[in-house]
């Protein structure tokens, strides 16, 4: 029992060191990195690792982030642009709230924020499909959101964007009742 407690505490210690090193890296990358770091610190967002089939990371209902253990671990360099952009993406979802995060609109918003951060950090262009997503206007056009979902699926065929409503669910229900596009966000 003592060995298990010691091992668990050692893992927690390593995770905490990793989290702090990620914070230091985020602080180096402009206002978005700094606001991401501040949000994580204030909300005590944990970074964990869990195998995921079709995404690089996920946020949880209790406000934590799970990075895909197939791609990242406690040994990943904290300045890894892909990992940091995923952290920015998932924190953006936490800021959006549940209803927005679980919509194509919320995903398009978070993909744009995350990949713009990646481009700013690396100075390199992204895949042409991602570039198309970055250039899409963020709003409530159902045609734009359908196209965004199609592009996300083309980029990541196993990604289950098809399970999400186009709008945050309260706006989706209002659209189904009125057939009126919501006002600009």
pLDDT of the residue at 11? 78
pLDDT the model gives residue 67: 97
What is the value of pTM for the model shown?
0.93
DSSP state of 97: -
**pLDDT score of 64:** 96
Query: Which of 66, 70, 86, 68 has its CA nearest to residue 25?
Result: 86
pLDDT at residue 26, as a whole number:
98
**pLDDT confidence of residue 5:** 55
**Residue boundaries of the structural domains of the chain:** 1-84, 97-185
Beta carbons within 10 angstroms of residue 14's beta carbon: 12
pLDDT at 146: 98
3-state secondary structure of 58: strand
pLDDT tens, the chain, 185 aa long: 555 555 657 778 888 899 999 999 999 999 999 999 999 999 999 999 999 999 999 999 999 999 999 999 999 999 999 999 999 999 999 999 999 999 999 999 999 999 999 999 999 999 999 999 999 999 999 999 999 999 999 999 999 999 999 999 999 999 999 999 988 76
pLDDT at 6: 59
In angstroms, rounded to a whole number, what is the distance separating the alpha carbons of residues 179 and 163? 21
- Name the β-bridge partners of 65: 47, 59
């Amino acid at each position: 029992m003592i060995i298990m407690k010691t091992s668990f505490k050692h893992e927690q210690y390593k995770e905490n060191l990793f989290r702090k090193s990620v914070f230091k890296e985020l602080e180096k990358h402009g206002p978005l990195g700094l606001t991401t770091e501040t949000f994580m610190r204030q909300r005590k967002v944990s970074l964990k690792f869990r195998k995921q089939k079709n995404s690089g990371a996920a946020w949880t209902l209790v406000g934590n982030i799970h990075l895909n253990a197939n791609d990242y671990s406690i040994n990943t360099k904290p300045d890894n642009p892909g990992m940091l952009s995923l952290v920015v993406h998932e924190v953006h979802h936490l800021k959006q709230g549940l209803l927005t995060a679980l919509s194509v609109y919320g995903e398009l918003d978070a993909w744009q924020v995350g990949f713009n951060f990646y481009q700013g950090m690396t100075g390199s262009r992204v895949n042409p499909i991602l570039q198309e997503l970055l250039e899409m206007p963020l709003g409530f056009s159902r045609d734009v959101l359908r196209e965004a979902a199609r592009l996300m699926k083309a980029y990541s065929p196993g990604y289950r964007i098809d399970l999400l409503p186009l709008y945050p669910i309260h706006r989706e229900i209002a659209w189904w009742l009125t057939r009126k596009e919501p006002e600009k966000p």
